[in-house]
Amino acid sequence: MEIVTPVSQDVIRKLRVGNIVYISGEMITARDKAHMRALEFIKSGKELPISFNNAVIYHCGPLVQKVSEGWKVISAGPTTSARMNRATKELLNYVDSIVIVGKGGMDVSEEIKGKGVYLAYTGGAGALAVNAIKRVKDVHWLDLGMPEAVWVFEVERFGPCIVAIDSHGNSLYDEVKRRVEENFKKIVEKL
C-alpha cells in the first residue's frame, strides 16, 4: 500500500508487521549527530529548523553532490538503525507520532507503541532508493558533515518498505531474534 505524508495516527495504527508499503511525500534524514542535536534543541526549548514531530525520519547518510541548481542525490540507502536506539527512545517522549525508515532493526518496540512504526528498507540499496527521491527540498545542519546533516527529500513511492515494528508492540526483529537464539543453542551442540 502507499502512504502519503504527513502520515496520520489512523494510518499508523492500521499498519501491521509484514505489510509492504511505499512512501510518497516528505522524508527527512537523521543519523547519530542529528538526533543528538535535535534532542539538545528540544530540551533547551530551542526551535528546530524542521520538526521531527509527525515526520518520516529516514536513517540515512546520503551521498549528494552540489550542482548549480542545488543538490543532486547520488546514492541514498538506509544506515544501521540500531545506533539510534537510545536517542530514538528519548525522542519518542517528545513526539505525538513518527514513522522511521531504516535498516537492521531497532530495540524500540515498547516505546514506539501507539505512536509510530519502523519500516525496513533494503540496506545498501542506495542506487535503487535514488529512483524514488525526486528532489532535495532543503538541508539543515550541514556543519555536521554530509552524512550527518538533515536532508529533506521529496519522495515518490519510496519502497518497497516492510513494516518491521508496528504500533501494537509487534517486531519482526524480536521474533527473528528469539528464533535465532534457539537455533544457536542447537547449532552449538552439533559443532
Partner 1 sequence: MPTYDEVVETVVELFKKAETELSDDVIQALRRAYEVEENEIAKMNLEAILKNVEIAKAKRIPMCQDTGLPIVFVELGKELCLDFDLVEAIKEGVVRATKEVPLRPNAVHPITRENTGNNIGMHMPEINVDLVDGDELKITVMPKGAGSENCSALKMMLPSEVDKIKRFVVEVVKNAGGKPCPPIFVGVGIGSTFDGCAKLAKKALLRNVNDMNEFELEILNAVNELGIGAMGLGGKITALAVLIEYGHCHTASLPVAVNIQCWANRRASAVLR
Which residues are at the interface with partner 1 (CB under 8 A)? 18, 20, 33, 60-63, 65, 74-77, 79-80, 82, 103-105, 120, 122-131, 145-147, 160, 162, 164, 172-173, 175-177, 179-181, 183-184, 186-188, 190-191
Nearer to partner 1, 95 or 128 (CB): 128
Q: CA neighbours within 13 Å on the CB side: how many for 134?
A: 11
Q: Is 140 a catalytic residue?
A: no
Contact 158, 3 (CB under 8 A): no
Least distance in Å: CB of 182 to partner 1?
Answer: 9
In this structure, what C-alpha cell is assigned to residue 12? 499508523
Which among 146, 148, 121 is positioned nearest to 133, based on CA atoms? 121
Contact 161, 121 (CB under 8 A): yes
Choosing from 35, 59, 140, 168, the catalytic residue is 35
Least distance in Å: CB of 121 to partner 1?
Answer: 8
Type of residue at 95: V
Least distance in Å: CB of 78 to partner 1?
Answer: 9
Nearer to partner 1, 69 or 96 (CB): 69
Nearer to partner 1, 53 or 179 (CB): 179
Least distance in Å: CB of 109 to partner 1?
Answer: 14
Nearer to partner 1, 52 or 173 (CB): 173
Contact 153, 73 (CB under 8 A): yes
Secondary structure E strands in 30-149: 56-58, 63-67, 70-75, 98-102, 116-120, 133-140
d(CA 10, CA 161): 19
Catalytic residue numbers, as ranges: 35
